[in-house]
């Protein structure tokens, strides 16, 4: 898996460095563009007494501030692992995301208050052709900026950049609505300024809440991506001696920094040396194809020489899987001489694991009263 530095493969460090440069460079471009757009729109909004354009300027300024926080968060997250934080500082990006979400929410709530005030105490806007041309140009700039930032975000798998790019495209639509309301006012003398401001504010608040929800999911820990877990399990099961891959747990320590552990069901005749060779091969294979570092490979053994053991396994499987809350059974092994059987059961969140274990224990004890039965509960972590 390559030379290691502080427990992380060197190619991960190199990829992270390049990713960090891309995020910072793209964010700087976003800051410059948004500051200029904010300045122009603020001037136009003040000269024309347009609350919608002024709020649009505030939105651009909050975008610039968000990009600045993204830069700071990315730089801090790029610190190398140390004794105190051996898994690195990648999760700081999620904390900076929470700050960005709070800024967006504050901007949206402030804009909403000001828009409602303008509805109650209206102030007529005063547009000119040059102002409208500048607004149209700003819309074009936002579209180009949004496409660029989103493309860079997809390129380096940065949720912050993807969100910023999408937000920029959305801002272009909102700015277009401001332009449309200005044209309607010039043609009909009907002022929709304050109402457009309310709509913009609501969308800004919605965007902030969505960003906050996504960031909290990352911090709390969420179910691993189904496509990724299925791919890893498929790769593991491709090995001839692997009967099944279970208990796959992926821990995320920041964007593109995933560490995993898994249990493999292997024949009971394999030697420790053979298991070691297999484990190292699979670790290299999984990292090469997914970028996930497989830090731990546990083992379940299964009976290969006793037909009676196979019959018992079939009967136990039938009993366990007759319950809807039992999602999977694996790791089954029975010692015919010692009269012992052990296996794991994945329980759904519809039942307490302790209740499920007790229920299955009593059921199986009736079928096999002479056996010592060990049921280990597993959590429904991956699909």
Q: Give the containing element (helix H, strand E) for 265.
A: strand 258-267
Confidence category of residue 10, pLDDT binned at 50, 70, 90: low
Which residues, 6+ apart, have CB-to-CB distance to 261 below 8 Å? 247, 248, 249, 294, 295, 296, 297, 298
Spell 320-341 as b/e; 16+ CB within 10 A means b: beebebbbbbbbbbbeeeeeeb
Residue 303 scores a pLDDT above 90: no
In the chain, what percentage of residues exceed pLDDT 70?
Answer: 93
Tokens of 30: 């976003």
CA torsion sign for 71, 91, 89, 382 is negative
Higher-confidence residue of 370 and 75: namely: 370
The per-residue pLDDT for range 14-71, each reduced to its tens digit, is 666 788 888 889 989 989 988 988 888 788 878 777 766 777 787 778 778 878 888 8
Give the pLDDT confidence score for residue 383 in this predicted structure: 57
Of 30, 98, 90, give the one whose Cα is nearest residue 64: 30
Q: Contact, 263 vs 382, CB < 8 A? A: no
- Provide the pLDDT for residue 355: 93
What mean pLDDT is reported for the chain? 83
pLDDT of res. 101: 78
pLDDT of residue 91: 81
Report which secondary-structure segment, H or E, holds 277. Answer: helix 272-290
264-291 pLDDT tens trace: 999 988 999 999 999 999 999 999 888 8
What pLDDT score does 7 carry?
A: 44
- 195-230 pLDDT tens trace: 877 887 788 788 778 878 888 887 887 777 888 999
CA 106/CA 109 separation, integer angstroms: 5
């Amino acid at each position: 898996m390559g030379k290691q530095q502080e427990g992380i493969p060197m190619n991960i460090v190199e990829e992270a460095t390049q990713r960090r440069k891309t995020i910072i460079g793209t964010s700087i471009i976003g800051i410059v563009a948004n500051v200029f757009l904010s300045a122009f729109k603020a001037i136009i909004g003040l000269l024309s007494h347009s609350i919608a354009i002024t709020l649009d300027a505030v939105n651009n300024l909050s975008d610039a501030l968000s990009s600045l926080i993204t830069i700071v968060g990315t730089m801090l997250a790029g610190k190398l692992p140390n004794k105190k934080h051996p898994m690195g500082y990648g999760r700081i990006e999620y904390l900076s995301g929470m700050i960005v979400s709070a800024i967006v929410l504050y901007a949206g709530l402030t804009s909403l208050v000001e828009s409602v005030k303008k509805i109650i105490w209206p102030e007529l806007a005063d547009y000119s052709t040059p102002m409208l041309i500048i607004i149209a140009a700003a819309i074009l700039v936002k579209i180009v900026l949004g496409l660029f930032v989103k493309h860079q975000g997809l390129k380096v798998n940065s949720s912050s950049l993807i969100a910023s790019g999408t937000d920029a495209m959305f801002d272009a639509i909102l700015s277009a609505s401001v332009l449309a309301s200005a044209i309607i006012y010039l043609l009909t003398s009907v002022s929709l300024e304050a109402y457009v401001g309310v709509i913009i504010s609501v969308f800004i608040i919605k965007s902030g809440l969505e960003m906050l929800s996504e960031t909290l999911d990352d911090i709390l820990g969420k179910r691993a991506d189904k496509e990724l877990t299925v791919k890893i399990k498929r790769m593991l099961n491709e090995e001839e001696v692997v009967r099944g891959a279970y208990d796959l747990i992926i821990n995320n320590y920041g964007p593109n920094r995933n560490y995993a552990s898994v249990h493999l069901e292997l024949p009971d005749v394999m030697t420790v040396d053979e298991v070691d060779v297999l484990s190292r091969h699979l670790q290299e294979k999984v990292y090469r194809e997914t970028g996930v570092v497989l830090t731990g490979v546990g083992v379940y053994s299964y009976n290969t020489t006793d037909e009676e053991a196979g019959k018992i396994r079939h009967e136990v499987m039938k009993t366990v899987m007759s319950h809807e809350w039992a999602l999977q059974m694996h790791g089954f092994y029975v010692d015919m001489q010692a009269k012992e059987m052990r296996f794991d059961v994945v329980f759904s969140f519809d039942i307490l694991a302790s209740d499920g274990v007790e229920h299955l224990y009593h059921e199986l004890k009736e079928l096999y009263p002479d056996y010592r039965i060990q049921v280990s509960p597993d959590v429904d972590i991956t699909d």
